[in-house]
Structure 1
Amino acid sequence: MSKCKALCLLIILTILLSGCWSKRELNELAIVAALGIDKVDNEFDITVQVVIPGEISSKQPTSGRSPVITYHSKGATVFEAIRKMTTLTARKLYFSHLQIVVLGDELATEGIGKPLDLISRDHEFRNDFDVIVAHNATAEEVLNVLTPIEKVPANKMLNSLRTSEKSWGTTQSIKIDELISTLNNKETSVVMSAIEIHGDRSVGMEQTNVKKSKSTAVLKYAGLAVFKEDKYIGLLSEDESRSLSFLKDKIESTIETLTCPKGGTLSTEITHSKTKIKGKFKNGSPKINVSIDVNQNVGEVECDIDLTKEKSLQYVNKKTEELIKKRIEKTISTVQQNYRVDIFGFGEALHRTNPKEWKKIKKEWLTIFQELPVKVDVHVNTQGLGTMENSLVNKTEGE
């Protein structure tokens, strides 16, 4: 009797636990690589960049068509606009492979909180995609630009973002979950990478844009966008963006160019950077100390300097320290005076140091932040000189 019951239970479970009841075939889906959100009047204007699998396959020749197609529709909410897009697309939109979300300039200025609600809540959206903002452009215009090398423009935007972050330091990758968390954090303001279009935008959406050795329209990261609460208020310059990356301990590698004692320039490659931010209260007044330790290699020498001498290396170290310190101090001052929001995480540092004192100033933090004393110390160590000790240019000229 017990064997009969066990057999019946096994049969029932086999029927109920079938793994194919909710299957969706690839040829039934439109795979979305990028999503753009704009605000037009009182409606959300949604653009999706859908991959055409046959045009990016390496196993079959292309037909010469675009590797992606964009669709867009409007709605009172982001959810509504996406659903209305089914009247345009031949297949159901599939967002599980979404790589990047572009927020339009006008939308970002008005506020990004509401449009982000759906993509952070809906189960079809994973939390591993990046979010960027379009500078002086709409998200639709950005997603319409075709790119060389990377057939799918979403791949280009993502790869450029990560490569620049690792090798130059003017961009910062931010995932949707980190973005939502920072928006809900009253101590630190959001920054995210901004992208812009260089060249003729109308030609950028044509195939001719990728058939020339020099593209007519290109997508380029412009720096880091500053937000106050959920509103876009300004763009940091390239130098300011790098300074912020130093302060947030996000520099993996970058380049510094120094002036040599007798004229000419010398470039170094930062190979390691470690930043420590410590807050303290003195008689109830907050202060911040920033300590940055940097390792570098000499990358290029276009001046007369003998790098075999210890005195020369000390000069290179000192000049690099001064350059980084001066640029960071200028960036802090600019943000305090012009943007008046804490994008550096100084509030969090003070909170960690003394929660009791922080509680006293928390409500007035943005006002206090504008006059906050910040001391910056930079220590640089030059480790490598490359495969040559001195400049080949000067040797040749000496001969």
Structure 2
Amino acid sequence: MKGIQILLIMILVSLLSGCWGIKEIQHQTYITAIGIDYEDDLYQLYFQSLSYSSVAKVEGGGADTTESRIIVGSASGSTIEQALGRIEQVAQLPVSYSHINTIYVSPTILEEQQLKIVKDFLGRWPFLRYDTWLFATDSPIDKVMLHNDFFSRAPVYSFTYDPAELLRENSFIPVLSYQTLVQRYDEPFGSILIPSLIVKDQTWKDNEASELVLNVNSGYFIEQHELKGHLTLNDLKGLDWFDENTEKLHVTLPEDLISAQLIRPQLNINVLTEHNEPRFRVEMKVKAALLSNVNQINERELKNKLEERLVLDITETFLHGVEMDLDIYQLTEKAFRFHPGAWTYEQLENLDENFLDRVDIAIEIVDEGNYK
């Protein structure tokens, strides 16, 4: 009797160990990014897919032993749902959306009516995580997706899939998650920056040809549901200091042969409520590690030159925003939220160059980069 009981237990255990209905990983189409465009009254939807073997890693940082292969599927429709259905109909394998980490949109999608439709679709789509990264591009979206494999590395190791790794060493542009867009979209004050991408060549090469890579070259701005326009990366130099995630930034003064790395700025925006009109003062403390000082300029003069440069960058970026009727630094949002009685809604809406009363920068040089 005891032997029969043991046999029954063994049979039951063997049944529990089976995993019926589980699909093997190579039998699914893995979508890592989606793209949405709107033209001629039609929505164009794009899926970026990669083979599972292209994300195989070897010891030492995620390099692939075989060439990464990206496939882009696309379809159009009078609605996003219709385009989505058409792509799925021609998929050769079941589609898995669990790896989506990037959304690409064209500038036409950022217009108020189209963005409202896209937000409604993405909000109801059960597969999208809110921490997905959002980028704009005026290049063809399928071209952007196809060239997101730097030196044959899988897209899951790219800047648009995981920007944090690169921005830790050079925080050259604030990035935007879909969650942040949703949180800030209906705010009455403050702007939203969507980084914009281009496909760039002639920067990296191998033995045969130039390597096409994605590059952030500008940013589109939305404020109070309206697409205000876009500014180049050079016009946005002052914005980096207002991003709480900024860790390191490189500043170069070519005329003085000075280069420095500035680390973890501590920024404070003061709302000057004693004025009858909206006024704000920006104060920032930042540490600097000197990378180049060919002319051996003394520390005091070095600090002055770097501080002047930062003041200039911050002021110029603010004035670019004023020209577009755009509060780039979220100054009015801070007043509206924390000092609601200081000025009227109308006063805060009438943005002008006097809103930025003063910029004070204090730089501490912690490493002069001396020869060892």
Do both share a fold (TM > 0.5)? yes
Q: Normalising by structure 1, what TM-score?
A: 0.78
User: What aligned pairs does 1:206-285 form with structure 2 within 5 A after superposition?
Assistant: 212=207, 214-215=209-210, 217-258=212-253, 264-285=256-277
Instruction: Give, in angstroms, the shift of residue 44 of structure 1.
Output: 1.0
d(CA) in 2 for partners of 1:253 and 1:35? 30
Instruction: Give, in angstroms, the shift of residue 162 of structure 1.
Output: 3.1
Aligned partner of 2:150 in structure 1 is 148
Equivalent AA in structure 1 for residue 50 of structure 2: V
Aligned partner of 2:308 in structure 1 is 322
Partner SS, residue 287 of structure 2: strand
d(CA) in 2 for partners of 1:96 and 1:162? 20
Aligned partner of 1:356 in structure 2 is 341
Contact 1:272 1:296 in 2 (8 A): no
Equivalent AA in structure 2 for residue 57 of structure 1: A
Equivalent AA in structure 2 for residue 92 of structure 1: P
Which runs of 5 or more residues in structure 2 are unaligned?
1-17, 59-63
Change (3 A) 1:125 1:331: same
Q: Find the partner of 2:284 among 277, 282, 292.
A: 292
Aligned partner of 1:308 in structure 2 is none
Partner SS, residue 295 of structure 1: strand
User: Mean alpha-carbon deviation: is it higher for 109-118 or for 73-82?
Assistant: 109-118
d(CA) in 1 for partners of 2:205 and 2:296? 43
d(CA) in 1 for partners of 2:54 and 2:275? 67
Partner SS, residue 112 of structure 1: helix
Instruction: Give, in angstroms, the shift of residue 70 of structure 1.
Output: 0.7
Equivalent AA in structure 2 for residue 357 of structure 1: A
Change (3 A) 1:61 1:133: closer
State, as a whole percentage, how many aligned pairs show the same letter. Answer: 16
Aligned partner of 1:186 in structure 2 is 188
Identify, as 1 or 2, the structure richer in helix: 1
Equivalent AA in structure 1 for residue 216 of structure 2: Y
Aligned residues: CA RMSD: 3.0
Aligned partner of 2:135 in structure 1 is 132
d(CA) in 2 for partners of 1:248 and 1:113? 26
Instruction: Give, in angstroms, the shift of residue 68 of structure 1.
Output: 1.7
Q: Deviations for 1:292-351, whole angstroms, at most 9, x for unmatched residues?
A: 10100111222244xxxxxx11111111111100111111111112x1122311122212
Which runs of 5 or more residues in structure 1 are unaligned?
1-18, 201-208, 306-311, 390-399
User: Mean alpha-carbon deviation: is it higher for 237-246 or for 35-44?
Assistant: 237-246
Aligned partner of 1:79 in structure 2 is 81
Q: Find the partner of 1:332 among 318, 323, 336.
A: 318
Q: Normalising by structure 2, what TM-score?
A: 0.83
